[in-house]
Amino acid sequence: MWLFDINRIFFQILDYPISYVEFIGTFFGLISIYLATKPNIFTWHTGIVNEIFLFILFFQVQLYADMFLQIYFFIVTLYGWYNWKRKTNEIKISTLKQKTQIILFAIILISTILAGFLFKNIHSLLPQFFKIEASYPFADSFVMVLSIVATVLLARKKLETWILWITVDIVCVVLYLKKEIYFLSLEYLIFLFMAIYGLFHWNKKRKNE
């Protein structure tokens, strides 16, 4: 469909062409993150639209780890939506124990290395689906793994989710600049400030609870 083709341009900003798929994915991503900082249950609804369009975008720019990440996001979005709706008055913002933080750090490190090697060679393993070599497979994998953990923590209303999202946003700003997805890079710069706000807002809310 033409709507999902990165060559179908919606408009241009300073000679940078923004496709329909990049704009829609970016727009709904901004809304989703904004609602998450509140926290508002509609963050999950808008997140679904964001995930569908970014899945298609990342495939076309060879960021395969980010592409697969959207599938995970979609699944966890459904879980988060159900979890918040069912237990909206039961789930309180909390923090992780130090032991859990250490375990998560180890999981993130090991998983990033393994995923990085996988996506680095995915064009050789599955040439029928991935004809072009992956771009920045280890940085992309780091974003994927960190986002997976952060999304789970978001669904469980753990304060550390925002620390992870801040890290993800910093890496994504640089990564998408290198891939010349400038509009999406700008989005993640905005995400960065929103994540910082989310961290302070959630922490304040946690103390009040």
Count, residues in the chain? 209
Q: Classify residue 74 as exposed, middle or buried by CB count within 10 Å of its CB (0-12, 13-18, 19+).
A: middle
Contacts of 182 (CB under 8 A, 6+ apart): 16, 176
Q: Classify residue 191 as exposed, middle or buried by CB count within 10 Å of its CB (0-12, 13-18, 19+).
A: buried
| pLDDT in the model for residue 113 | 95
Summarize pLDDT for 106-139 with one digit per residue, the tens.
999 999 999 999 988 888 888 877 778 888 889 9
Q: Distance (Å, rounded) from C-alpha 137 to C-alpha 121?
A: 9
For residue 33, give both structure tokens. 């993150």
Instruction: Extract the residue ranges of the chain whose pLDDT is less than 70.
Output: 1-4, 7, 87-90, 209
Q: Distance (Å, rounded) from C-alpha 103 to C-alpha 109?
A: 10
| pLDDT in the model for residue 61 | 81
pTM beyond 0.85, yes or no = no
Summarize pLDDT for 148-157 with one digit per residue, the tens.
899 889 878 8
| pLDDT in the model for residue 199 | 93
| pLDDT in the model for residue 87 | 60
